[in-house]
């Protein structure tokens, strides 16, 4: 296919293109776009397992995110590779350990209640946008530790403005990265970045001077984190991780929530079963975060949504040396690229893969190279436990308090927003009912 046409298809319909290539060329094929390394797209789960088994010196993932350095910073865990990546990951990972998530559950539920309080019956609204507001607020509370609503509002507005300016795709091109004054795209970005950075420095300084003792937010835990030699993260590294967690954790989770709603609202059998499970839990005690986290059908629904409609369709590793892989001799510089989408569409792993069927996750755990919405190996998403927990808290609260339906005539399409794939028009819905907050008793 001519390069221009290929790029156009890749931007407009990456999933359709991958499906077509798989049917035409088999389970492994290559794609070369203008601005990326040659990608060897993998869909055989055994090949994916091999990629995820890498220790990270022979294959680099940080290089793929290099264009994000101006925004995330050069010390972000996403852009580093090799030993520096492994050392930093060791410091950043512990606050995201699964068991720790209970500390954030109530805040996740409270933020969702605050958002629902603003929803009006019979009014159409974009549920993806509503989820973006919720996931941003959750990160500001649980990661940045901003308990004060007015301060959260101020910091959130500046960071949302910065993310909006930074999300214009041409900004990633080096030719665009020249400051020609406040009205040029790069100039505008630089000015918003300076304001955002000043605000982040203020957040870090305030937490440092108030002390971290007794605080469970992730910034406090990162301030206290030390490596084997007793070294912590300096000011710059802390700033870079905060921006990284915000960018990596906010849009992705909001999009995953929007896709989950898309299926739940379309399939009455799924919504009925979710509500039966929720109501049964409500009858036997308060809906605490711990109890919501254990709801099996809710968990299966979230996992199935991430399977059928992965938010990030590909993950890549650039070879640092020539390698024979899957029977092919590959030069260094090529990217081994597991296709999350194609692995999740494999009928040998998932029967009737095109159907939304949460039951397939009940009583069954898929292997680490079969269910890969969060990637894998030493680059696996640091926020996986956080995102799954958050999705369950938000969905349980929305389902228990509201009755939503898709806006009449809405036909969802997949649209690309930077590296994520989102539902078109922000997935418009209409609220037929919004119950008062006290109908959902979460406090123990």
Residue closest to 366 by CA, chosen among 355, 354, 379, 353: 353
From candidates 249, 358, 412, 426, binder to ligand HEM by CB under 6 A: 249
Examine residue 315 and tell whether it contacts ligand HEM (CB under 6 A). Answer: yes
User: Is the CB of 83 or the CB of 184 nearer to ligand HEM?
Assistant: 83
**Measured between alpha carbons, how far is 72 from 94 in angstroms, rounded to an integer?**
21
Burial label, 212 (beta-carbon count in 10 A; 0-12, 13-18, 19+): middle
Least distance (Å) from ligand HEM to the CB of residue 236? 17
Helix count (H) and strand count (E) of the chain? Answer: 16, 12
Task: Name the residue nearer to ligand HEM (CB basis): 386 or 440.
Answer: 386
Residue from the set 77, 109, 116, 238 that interacts with ligand HEM by CB under 6 A: 77
Structure tokens at 123: 């009014």
Q: Which of 48, 308, 381, 398 binds ligand HEM (CB under 6 A)?
A: 381
Rule CB under 6 A: say whether 134 interacts with ligand HEM.
no
- Going from the C-alpha of 181 to that of each of 70, 162, 187, 199, the distances in angstroms are 17, 17, 5, 22
* Least distance CB 433 / ligand HEM (angstroms): 27
Instruction: Count Cβ atoms below 10 Å from residue 356 Cβ, excluding itself.
Output: 20
Coil, strand or helix at 252: helix
* Under rule CB under 6 A, residue 244 binds ligand HEM: yes
CB of 389 to ligand HEM, least distance (A): 9
Q: Kindly give the pairing relationship between strand 39-42 and strand 335-338.
A: parallel
Q: Edge-to-edge, what's the strand order for the sheet holding 317-319?
A: 28-31, 39-42, 335-338, 317-319, 59-60
User: Which of 163, 165, 219, 245: binder of ligand HEM (CB under 6 A)?
Assistant: 245
Q: Where are the beta strands (DSSP E) in 18-82?
A: 28-31, 39-42, 59-60
Number of residues that bind ligand HEM (CB under 6 A): 25
Closest to ligand HEM by CB, 292 vs 387, is 387
Regarding 383 and contact with ligand HEM (CB under 6 A), the answer is: yes
Residue from 263, 350, 386, 410 touching ligand HEM (CB under 6 A): that is 386
- Is 416 strand, coil or helix? strand
Given candidates 256, 278, 318, 342, which one binds ligand HEM under the rule CB under 6 A?
256
Q: Of these, 78, 238, 305, 421, which contacts ligand HEM (CB under 6 A)?
A: 78
| Residue 305 CB, nearest approach to ligand HEM (Å) | 9
Min dist. Cβ of residue 374 to ligand HEM (A): 5
How far is the C-alpha of 414 from the C-alpha of 14, rounded, in Å? 9
Neighbours of 26 (CB within 10 A): 10
Residue 39 binding ligand HEM, by CB under 6 A: no
Residue whose CB is less far from ligand HEM, 186 or 344? 344
Q: What are 126's strand-pairing partners? A: 428
Q: Is residue 252 within the footprint of ligand HEM (CB under 6 A)? A: yes
In the complex with ligand HEM, the residue whose CB is nearer, 95 or 431, is: 95
Looking at 167-234, list the stretches that DSSP marks H as alpha helix, in order from N- to C-terminal side: 185-210, 218-224
Find, among 23, 98, 58, 45, the residue nearest to 317 by Cα.
58
List residues near ligand HEM by CB under 6 A: 61, 77-78, 89, 244-245, 248-249, 252-253, 256, 311-312, 315, 373-376, 379-383, 386-387
């Amino acid at each position: 296919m001519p390069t221009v046409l290929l790029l156009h298809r890749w931007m407009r319909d990456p999933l359709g293109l991958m499906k077509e290539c798989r049917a035409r060329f088999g389970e492994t094929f290559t794609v070369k776009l203008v601005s990326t390394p040659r990608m060897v797209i993998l869909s055989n789960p055994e090949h994916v397992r091999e990629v995820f088994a890498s220790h990270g010196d022979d294959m680099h993932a940080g290089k793929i995110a290099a264009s994000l350095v101006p925004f995330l910073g050069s010390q972000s865990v996403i852009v580093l590779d090799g030993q520096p990546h492994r050392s930093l990951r060791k410091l950043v990972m512990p606050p995201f350990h699964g068991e720790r998530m209970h500390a954030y559950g109530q805040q996740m539920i409270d933020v969702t209640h605050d958002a629902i309080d603003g929803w009006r019956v019979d009014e159409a609204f974009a549920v993806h946008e509503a989820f973006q507001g919720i996931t941003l607020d959750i990160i500001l509370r649980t990661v940045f530790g901003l308990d004060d609503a007015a301060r959260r509002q101020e910091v959130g507005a500046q960071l949302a403005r910065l993310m909006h300016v930074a999300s214009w795709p041409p900004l990633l091109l080096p030719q665009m990265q020249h400051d020609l004054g406040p009205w040029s795209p790069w100039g505008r970005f630089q000015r918003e970045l300076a304001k955002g950075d000043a605000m982040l420095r203020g957040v870090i300084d305030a937490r440092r001077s108030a002390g971290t003792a007794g605080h469970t937010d992730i910034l406090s835990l990162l301030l206290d984190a030390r490596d084997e030699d007793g070294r912590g993260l300096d000011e710059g590294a802390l700033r870079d991780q905060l921006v990284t967690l915000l960018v990596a954790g906010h849009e992705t989770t909001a999009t995953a929530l929007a896709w989950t709603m898309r299926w739940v609202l379309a399939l009455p059998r799924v919504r009925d079963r979710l509500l039966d499970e929720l109501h049964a839990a409500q009858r036997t005690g308060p809906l605490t975060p711990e109890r919501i986290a254990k709801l099996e059908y809710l968990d299966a629904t979230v996992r199935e949504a991430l399977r059928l409609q992965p938010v990030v369709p590909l993950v890549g590793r650039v070879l640092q040396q020539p390698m024979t892989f899957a029977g092919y001799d590959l030069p260094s510089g090529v990217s081994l690229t597991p296709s999350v989408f194609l692995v999740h569409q494999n009928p040998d792993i998932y029967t009737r893969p095109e159907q939304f069927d949460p039951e397939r996750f009940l009583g069954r755990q898929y292997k680490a190279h079969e269910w890969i919405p969060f990637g894998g190996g030493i680059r696996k998403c640091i926020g996986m436990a956080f995102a799954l927990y958050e999705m369950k808290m938000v969905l349980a609260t929305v389902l228990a308090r509201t009755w939503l339906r898709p806006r009449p005539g809405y036909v969802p399409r997949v649209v690309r927003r930077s590296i994520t794939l989102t539902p078109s028009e922000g997935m418009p819905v209409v609220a037929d009912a919004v119950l008062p907050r006290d109908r959902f008793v979460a406090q123990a």
